[in-house]
Chains A and B, each alone.
Chain A
C-alpha cells in the first residue's frame, strides 16, 4: 500500500515521456481537449480585450534595425518575378467569394484609399520578434466596399508563394477581419515592401503570430467554412504542421 502512490507517480511521469505520447496526441479526446483549450484562450482574450482591443504600438525609435524575412522569402512564379522587376503595375488584389461586389484593385487604388500607419511587433511562433512600421488600407474598408454577405464567417488569404510544393494561404474570422489594426500593408518602414517581407502586399493581423501575416497576397476570399480548402484546417501551417488555427497564444 505504501509503495503504491510512489510507484504510480513514477509510472505517470515515465508515461509522459514514453511513446504512449503519440497515441495520446492522436486520440480524438486529446485533439478536442487541445481545441477546447485554444478556443478558451481566444474567448478569454476577446472577452478581456474586446473585439477592438489594440495590440501595442511603438515609436519610430523602437523599430528593429532590420525586419527579418522568414518562411517564403522569394516567389518563383514568372508573372510575380516580372511584376517585382517592374513595380507591380499589373498586380491585382481580388476580393471575392461571398461578396456582393467583387473587387480587383491595383496597387495605386489601394494607396489612394484612406491609409493606416502602425508600428507594431511581429512575433514569430518560433519565439523571435521584430518591430516595423506598416502602412496600408484597413481590411474593413475593402470588405465594406465589396459588401461582404452576412453568411461569410471567415476570410481566406490566397498568396503567390509556394512552400513544399503547396500554395500558401491563411484564414481569419470576422472579428479579426474588422479589427482596426488589420491592414493590407504595401509599405514597411516607409518603403515599398521588400520581396522577403511579402511584396507587394501582405496582411498585418497584429494580435496573432507571424504565420497569420500572409505575404504576397493575391486574393481575399469570403467563405462560410474552410473545410473544402487545402487540408481543411484553415491555413498552410495548420495543414502542413498542425499549427493552431487561433494564433493569438
Chain B
C-alpha cells in the first residue's frame, strides 16, 4: 500500500487554511487601521500609553481596499470559522494519522547548530533533501504548536461575548489589550512563515502540485539509516544468551 506524500486531510486543510489566513490577515490590517495603537494589560485607549504605534496599512494590503470596519469585520468573523475549526481538525488528524509524531516532533539533537546547518545544506541547490529536516520540524512545530493556537485563542479572548465563556483565558493572556497585542504579533509571525513558505515552495513547482495531488513518496530517496548494529557479543559466559 502506497501512502501519498501528503495525506488528504493535510491537503484539504492546507488550502482551506491558506484561503482563511489570507482573508483574516488582510481584513485584520483593515481592522487595525481603526485604532492604530497597541497596549498591554486590561485596558488602553490613550495613545500615550501604547507600547506600539502601528502604521496605517495601505489599501492594496487590506480587505476591503478602502477603510471599512464593518465589511472587514464581516469577512474576519466569517473566515474565523474555517480557520478555527480547521486548526482543531488538523490537530486531531495529525495526532490520529501520525503526521505529528512522525514529521513534526523534535528530538534534542534537532536543536543543535549542526542539525540546522545540515538542514540548510541539504536544501541548497544539489542538496539531497527529503523528509522533514530539523529546521522544518522546529518551524512547523512553532506554527502548529504556538502561532496557530495563539491566533485562535487571542481571537476568542478579545471577543466580548466569548469573555463570558472563558474569563480565565483573558487572565492567562494578561488582559484584553495584551490579548489584542498578541493577536497582532502572532498574525505577523504567521505572515513571516507564509512568505518563507511560499518562496521555498515556488523554487520547485512540483511541491505545489503535490499539495493538490498528494504526490508519491520518493522511492529513490535513500532509505533511512539502518539501526546501529548491536554491540558484538563478547565470547564469554555472560555473553551467551540465557536461552541458548
Contacts and interface: CB of A to CB of B under 8 A. Distances in A.
Q: Main SS of chain B's interface residues?
A: helix
B219 interface: no
Interface in A14-49: 16-17, 19, 21-22, 25, 33-34, 37-38, 40-42, 45, 48-49
Interface string A112-154: 0000000001011111111100000000000000000000000
B208 A64 contact: no
Contact of A41 (B32, B43, B159): B159
B149 interface: no
With a 10 A CB-CB cut-off, give which of A34, A58, A206, A241 has the most chain B CB atoms.
A34
B65 A41 contact: no
Q: For chain A, which range describes its interface: under 10, 10 to 19, 20 to 34, or 35 or more residues?
A: 35 or more
B78 A37 contact: yes
A207 B22 contact: no
Interface stretch (A1-9, A92-100, A185-193, A195-203): A1-9
A129 B164 contact: no
A230 interface: no
A207 B166 CA distance: 12
A126 B77 contact: no
B78 A33 contact: yes
Contact of A56 (B159, B163, B208): B163
Interface string B170-208: 100000110010000000000000000000000001001
B167 A13 contact: no
Interface residues of B, number: 48
Contacts, number: 142
Interface in B100-158: 158
Contacts of B170: 56
A123 B31 contact: no
Nearest to B60: A17
B23 interface: yes
Given A58-B42, A121-B42, A125-B69, A9 B176 contact: no
Contacts of A55: 160, 163-164, 167
A72 interface: no
Those 4 A-B pairs whose CB atoms lie nearest each other, nearest first: A248-B161, A128-B45, A127-B35, A45-B161
17 contacts: A9-B208, A37-B74, A37-B80, A64-B45, A121-B42, A121-B43, A123-B160, A124-B45, A125-B34, A125-B73, A128-B35, A128-B44, A129-B42, A208-B161, A243-B73, A244-B77, A248-B159
Interface of A: 2-3, 5-6, 9, 12-13, 16-17, 19, 21-22, 25, 33-34, 37-38, 40-42, 45, 48-49, 53-56, 58, 62, 64, 68, 121, 123-131, 206-209, 237, 241-244, 246-249
Interface of B: 19, 22-23, 26, 31-32, 34-35, 37, 39, 42-46, 60, 63-65, 68-71, 73-75, 77-78, 80-81, 158-167, 170, 176-177, 180, 205, 208-209, 212
